[in-house]
Structure 1
């Protein structure tokens, strides 16, 4: 098991739309993430800065942010491009966060 944490950036005023889209996440995307080894995934919001903080637990080393060649993941990124800050190719602007502490 490996934990990955990263931050992304919500566009101002888009909290409810972001929440709505994730409440209706595509079942095939969930299946794909699980197939790639992501078995636990949470996203939190710092409302003061519109920063999204994500934590994924994976069986292996691949997290969603490394799935740049996966067509389904890319389609989700295209779908979310109007509510989060993205790169030119619609990949989320994402910064991996180093783990400094883990309590077993």
Structure 2
């Protein structure tokens, strides 16, 4: 299954966002794979600071369980100062509707 979503970083935080992801913790990589995620890519619209995420997941229910892991919560806390978040520090993320796909 392909999952697309958008999030938003704060003004002036693009370089920091990219830096943190280029140094992604090995434990986060393991968690993403453990909960069925692969081919994860994030794009940035520099004009709006909107991020577009694309990830292939095995199963939506399995993927959702990754949110409750300690390492994921730690990552959310780590990223909360540079992007829009919910009260629990999870990123404000909006799922996008898939309207076209071509292999």
d(CA) in 2 for partners of 1:28 and 1:37? 14
What is the CA–CA distance in structure 1 between the aligned matches of 2:40 and 2:2, rounded to whole Å?
A: 10
Whose helix proportion is higher, 1 or 2? Answer: 2
Report the Cα offset of residue 61 of structure 1. Answer: 2.0
- With normalisation by structure 2, the TM-score equals 0.93
Long gaps (5+) in structure 1: none
Structure 1 7/45 Cα, relative in aligned 2: closer, same or farther at 3 Å? same
- Aligned-pair Cα RMSD in Å: 1.4
Give the TM-score normalised by the residue count of structure 1: 0.92
Aligned length: 102
Residue 71 of structure 1 corresponds to which residue in structure 2? 70
User: What SS class does the counterpart of residue 74 from structure 2 fall into?
Assistant: helix
2:41 and 2:27 mapped to 1: Cα distance? Answer: 18
Gaps of 5+ in 2: none
SS at match of 1:16: helix
Q: Deviations over 1:7-33 (max 9, x none)?
A: 000100001100110010000110111
C-alpha distance in 1 between matches for 2:62 and 2:91? 13
Name the counterpart of 1:22: 21
- 1:53-101 deviation per Cα after TM superposition (whole angstroms, max 9, x unaligned): 000011222586x333121111100000001110111000000001111
- Structure 1 CA distance, aligned partners of 2:4 and 2:16? 23
| Runs ≥4 residues deviating over 3 A | none
- Structure 1 residues 95, 21: closer, same or farther in 2, change over 3 A? same
